[in-house]
A and B are shown apart, each in its own frame.
Chain A
Amino acid sequence: MPDIAFLALSGLVIVSAIFALEARELIYGAVGLAFSLIGVAGLFILLGAEYLAMFQVSVYVGAVVVLILFTIMLVRRESGRILEEEEPGRLGRAGILVAGLVALAVAGAVLVLVPTYLEAPEFYRVPLRELGRLLASSYAVALVILGLLVGATVVGGLTLVRVEREEKTSGATQ
């Protein structure tokens, strides 16, 4: 039974990832990315980490994809034309070649090096209490640094996209 779920979820992840990169419209590509990330969240549930799945859906699908959609709309409205790129076929073939080689190498190396006969415990749920205790003791410094990073990111992003009114008005008067 979990086999069917795994097959369906991995199909969803792979197909919508390819769709995200190959869709003609960038907006549809963003929706494909959202479906791919939802599929990854489903895989997390299969692996017994429900809270990670919730985190994945709320942060990735809820925040990142929506942010990407906003950016696409902003860029498109300002340009007044659809952002579409025509890759030369040579580049696409080189990409497929490089990607296939790297994926094969990684998969082969990991499968050779890792003992895949390991049997997982049949049913396992992440002990949330234990995880929270770990996050507040061993990973406390990392958590604080993560918070500082979020703050720095917000400030940095706002600084980057700020439109400098003073310069514009002074440029207009000169």
Chain B
Amino acid sequence: MEPLSSYIILSSALLGIGIYGLVSKRNAIRLLFSVELIVNAANINFVAFARYANPPMLTGWNIVFFSIAAAAMEATVGLALILVAFRLNGTIDVRKLNRLRG
């Protein structure tokens, strides 16, 4: 059994990759990828901490259950918004979707 710190380092790396995508990508679908990666980093942390507590905590697993369901819904609404934005503007480049800019 590897130490808890290896899971923490892995999920931090995944978080870093997700933030990199959020900062540097321009395609709205890739931004959605990044959000999914960040949510998964959080889920890994939840499960790892629940497993390494003594005794193991069932709450951590249940929270991940809810988290996965909520993330699926968030992806659904996000994709619907992307489709609508594409229909209205003809592009999903977030740097060009600047109609609301004052």
Contacts and interface: CB of A to CB of B under 8 A. Distances in A.
Given A75-B86, A99-B16, A20 B52 contact: no
A3 B7 CA distance: 12
B40 A40 contact: yes
B27 A26 contact: yes
Interface string A10-46: 1001100110110000100110010011001001100
A48 B64 CA distance: 14
Interface residues of A, number: 80
Contact of A116 (B3, B24, B58, B81): B3
A160 B84 contact: yes
A144 B14 CA distance: 31
Nearest to A125: B56
B65 A98 contact: no
A142 B59 CA distance: 13
Contact of B44 (A20, A40, A146): A40
A14 B17 contact: yes
A14 B61 CA distance: 23
Interface string B61-96: 110111011111101110111111011001011000
Given A52-B64, A146-B69, A111 B83 contact: no
A20 to B, nearest CB: 5
A136 to B, nearest CB: 11
A94 interface: yes
Interface string B1-16: 1111111111011111
Nearest to B74: A153
Contacts of B24: 87, 91-92, 94-96
A139 B64 CA distance: 13
A83 B4 contact: no
A98 B6 CA distance: 22
A171 interface: no
Closest 9 CB pairs of A and B: A103-B16, A95-B24, A99-B20, A95-B23, A107-B12, A99-B19, A99-B16, A160-B80, A153-B73
Interface of B: 1-10, 12-27, 29-30, 32-34, 36-37, 40, 43-44, 47-49, 51-56, 58, 61-62, 64-66, 68-73, 75-77, 79-84, 86-87, 90, 92-93
Given A87-B26, A99-B17, A142-B66, 13 more contacts: A3-B2, A48-B51, A60-B71, A75-B86, A85-B27, A103-B13, A107-B12, A111-B5, A114-B49, A118-B4, A121-B54, A126-B58, A160-B84
